[in-house]
């Protein structure tokens, strides 16, 4: 008598790891040791082409929207009560990188999603609702602002026309670059509204490794405030101008860095970073007439983030008056904190427990596409450890067994949400 029992879902960890290695080879720098696939460059196009090829190898329905987001969908076996195809369960992340990056940031979420779909294909199981794997455009924001652009447009937080008109750091227009690399799709952004969204990611921080834990169940994500601050003072001779008569843009910028550390320490939760700073004229014996620098502030509490922003604004007003300089600020990005779906977080925790893995519920310090998709659908994230907390760096590393375990948890969650017994 033949056995008609449905085959169990099994994750092919070897294929996942091999695809991570292959994608990680695209855009590599043999000297620096990392890889660079900045959004919509030729190297990122090569990465996109590879991901699309893997989607087609799984016989997925591949669609590309006007902002270049890539969606590969495994069709469902059923329709809903109204005869319509149910909304998809979506997984995803991004494959663009910063300059000289590691191999895992973003890519792990996309290829982990493909690994889940592969498990369904290998078992011959048609899901009860479609499963979509997404690769969102320009998550890093290394070339075009804002970051997380593709998912933001998908969620309706930025118009597609405004995004297409974004000018990159190299002067290129985003829409023109999409067309140049062949990823200016015709689907309207937001057409594929997920029923639920899951994102698998490396932590990019030190907490899980430091505490000897295997999985992070991400409950919330910090709010992010990006500003560019310009200080206009007066250039003058460094040896002949008394301190009391200076209007020193360099001093004001440096004093602001010190004040930001004070704000962060006193708040207890706010993180503040000055990532770029430039003085003009940039001569050793000339007082800086101009300083331009960026400020990145983050906090899981909207109230505390807003308070820290207000403290910075107040400080800038006072020091401008005291030092006789002009200060202007430009907001580059502002995202409120996100609380992920509690039910999905509970399901992730239950699946982790069933596997006997160590874990903690935690906050994400970095921004992710999931925070944008959470605007339109229940969303949650799964973290695996990052060695040394290092990311955006060629030394970014997570052990192979940790990567496979995280993807297995993702598969368990998807199976549970789609009613497939494991």
Q: How many CA atoms lie within 13 A of 203 on its CB side?
A: 28
Q: How far apart are CA 333 and CA 147, in angstroms?
A: 8
Q: What is the per-residue burial (b if ≥16 Cβ within 10 Å, else e) of 257-272?
A: eebbeebbeebeebbb
Q: Is 154 annotated as a binding-site member? A: no
Which residues have CB under 8 Å from 316's CB, separation 6+? 229, 256, 327, 329
* Distance, C-alpha 129 to centroid of its chain: 26
Query: For residues 353 and 133, is the Cβ–Cβ distance under 8 A?
Result: no
Q: Is 196 annotated as a binding-site member? A: no
Query: For residues 90 and 380, is the Cβ–Cβ distance under 8 A?
Result: no
Q: How far apart are CA 339 and CA 380, in angstroms?
A: 9
Q: Is 392 annotated as a binding-site member? A: yes
Burial of 23 (C-beta count, 10 Å sphere; 0-12/13-18/19+): buried
Q: Is 195 annotated as a binding-site member? A: no
Query: For residues 205 and 393, is the Cβ–Cβ distance under 8 A?
Result: no
Q: Is 247 annotated as a binding-site member? A: no
Q: How far is CA 118 from CA 79, 409, 421, in A?
A: 22, 15, 17
Q: How far apart are CA 219 and CA 341, in angstroms?
A: 8
Could you list the residues known to form a binding site for Zn(2+), using ranges. Answer: 94, 105, 140, 201, 392
Could you list the residues known to form a binding site, using ranges. Answer: 94, 105, 140, 201, 392
């Amino acid at each position: 008598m033949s056995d008609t029992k449905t085959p169990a879902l099994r994750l092919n960890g070897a294929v996942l790891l091999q695809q991570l290695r292959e994608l990680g080879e695209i855009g590599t720098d043999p000297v620096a040791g990392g890889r660079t696939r900045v959004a919509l460059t030729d190297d990122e196009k090569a990465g996109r082409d590879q991901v699309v090829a893997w989607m087609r190898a799984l016989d997925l329905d591949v669609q590309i929207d006007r902002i270049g987001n890539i969606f590969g969908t495994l069709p469902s076996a059923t329709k809903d009560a109204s005869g319509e195809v149910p909304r998809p369960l979506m997984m995803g992340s991004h494959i663009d990188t910063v300059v000289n990056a590691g191999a895992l940031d973003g890519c792990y979420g996309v290829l982990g999603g493909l690994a889940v779909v592969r498990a369904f294909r290998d078992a011959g199981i048609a899901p009860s609702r479609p499963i979509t794997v997404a690769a969102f455009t320009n998550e890093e924001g290394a070339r075009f602002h804002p970051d997380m652009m593709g998912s933001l447009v998908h969620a309706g937080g930025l118009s597609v026309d405004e995004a297409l008109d974004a000018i990159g750091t190299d002067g290129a227009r985003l829409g023109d670059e999409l067309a140049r690399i062949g990823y200016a799709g015709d689907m309207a952004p937001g057409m594929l509204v997920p029923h639920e969204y899951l994102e698998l990611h490396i932590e990019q921080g030190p907490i899980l490794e430091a505490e000897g834990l295997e999985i992070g169940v991400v409950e919330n994500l910090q709010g992010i405030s990006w500003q560019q601050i310009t200080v206009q003072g007066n250039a003058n001779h460094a040896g002949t101008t008394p301190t009391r008569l200076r209007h020193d843009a360099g001093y004001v910028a440096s004093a602001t860095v010190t004040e930001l550390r004070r704000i962060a320490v006193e708040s207890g939760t706010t993180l503040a970073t000055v990532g770029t700073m430039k003085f003009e004229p940039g001569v050793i014996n000339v007082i800086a007439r101009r300083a331009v620098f960026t400020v990145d502030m983050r906090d899981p509490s909207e109230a505390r983030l807003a308070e820290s922003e207000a403290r910075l604004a107040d400080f800038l007003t006072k020091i401008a008056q005291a030092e006789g300089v002009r200060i202007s600020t430009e907001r580059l990005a502002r995202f409120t904190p996100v609380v992920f779906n509690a039910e999905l977080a509970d399901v992730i925790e239950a699946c982790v427990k069933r596997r006997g893995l160590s874990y903690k519920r935690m906050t994400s310090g970095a921004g992710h596409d999931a925070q944008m998709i959470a605007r339109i659908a229940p969303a949650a994230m799964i973290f695996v450890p990052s060695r040394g907390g290092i990311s955006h760096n060629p030394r970014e590393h997570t052990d192979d067994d940790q990567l496979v375990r995280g993807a297995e948890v993702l598969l368990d969650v998807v199976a549970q949400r789609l009613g497939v017994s494991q």
